[in-house]
Amino acid sequence: MGPTDVQDKNLVEIERLLPGGFGLAHAEGLTLFVALAAPGDILRVKIERKRGSVGFASIIEVVKPSTVRVEPPCPYFGLCGGCDFQQLDYEAQLAAKVEIIRDCLHRIARIETLPDIVMVPSPAQWQYRSRANWQFDPKAKRLGYFARGSHDVCDVEVCAVLRPELQQTLERLREQMREGTLSKKLTDIEAVAGDEDVSLASATTHFRSKEVSRHIGNETYYFGAEAFFQINHELLELLLGEAVGEEHGKTAIDLYSGVGLFTLPLARRFNQVTAVEANSRAVDYAQRNLDAAELDNVEIANMSVAEWLKHWLGFERPEFLLLDPPRSGAEGGVIEGILKVAPQKICYVSCDPATLARDLNKLLEGGYSLDSIVGFDMFPQTHHVETVARLSHSEF
């Protein structure tokens, strides 16, 4: 059955999933983006809003479910703004993420011939998340996540993707909320789990954020809730292996280096490493991790990546440069700065295929070639995916 076979004007067939996780359909002369759909679904939808020839729609009824559609196990699915792929079986989730990466690289980076895209599945599809950001509404006594499409708080008692230690922390905070002992100054709570404890922080009031640690491969990392650390710890050893690989030599640069996730393995393979990170708390943890690992061949620059690149005075090309920017990708001037540094090889670690593709386009125009693309399913039950792209310069 194709879109033209559907007689009811509110009935559509989902053709495929797009970057952002929406299902693609066509109706009433519009290209429709349908939330929480599965490829192959026949749906009755409601068009919520239009923008030119594009419409955004929600599902009223699943008339004929796709063969890859499953019943979402979470009672908050569709209300909570977190997971948006629970309606897909796991193989379909992985396939959709490969297509999302491929779509972005074709459409935004304008790469015609791509290397095979390998997708590494998560060892745990549920209870994998070691980091969470909870929202608190003291007046309504709600604690959970933002509701889908709004800044209202969706009250959540049990989150199916949280690791058990974070679920227990959520339950303790909810008990404090019910007793009235949770500070009414709070609006958000960052929580991160280590091997043996949980660290909490908030932007609006003071939590005594404790240090936690996590063993990843042969390394030990110390961090807290106020500094970023990846959420799916069971995949990190594989991610490190792909990003750093067998690279070695004299000099390496680690941009957006955080608490030193990639810095430590780079320092074991290169004579000299420069790490650049704007968050001063993350820099403190990075130095703590280097000291604990007895590594003294790293210089940490506590400044924005764009500013550091603007003043880079290296006299020879580094052999390797790794960047792991936030979801928004590299800020203005960074890719141009990297092209000025001209490393022999680049590894770009990204949590957003669209901004990755935007930045890759500039690197490819600057003389680099794309050698490999590997996806890591760091975020099961969502459309998000971690991607590792490796590039080399044509002159080497």
CB-CB neighbours of 180 under 10 Å? 9
Q: Is residue 106 within 8 Å of 354, Cβ to Cβ?
A: no
Cα 16–18–19 angle (5° rounding)? 155
Q: Is residue 105 within 8 Å of 360, Cβ to Cβ?
A: yes
Where would I find the beta strands (DSSP E) of 161-308? 188-193, 198-201, 212-216, 219-223, 249-255, 270-276, 298-301
- DSSP H helices, 311-394, are 334-341, 353-365
Q: Which long-range contacts (CB under 8 A, 24 or more apart) does 268-272 make?
A: 268/295, 269/244, 270/297, 270/319, 270/320, 271/297, 272/297, 272/298, 272/299
Q: Of the residues 80, 104, 159, 351, which is catalytic?
A: 351
CB-CB neighbours of 113 under 10 Å? 6
Continuous segment of H or E residues that includes residue 369: strand 368-376
Any idea how long the chain is?
A: 396
User: Does the active-site annotation cover 83?
Assistant: no
Q: Is 235 left (phi over 0), alpha (psi -120 to 50) or beta?
A: alpha
Please give the positions annotated as active site: 351
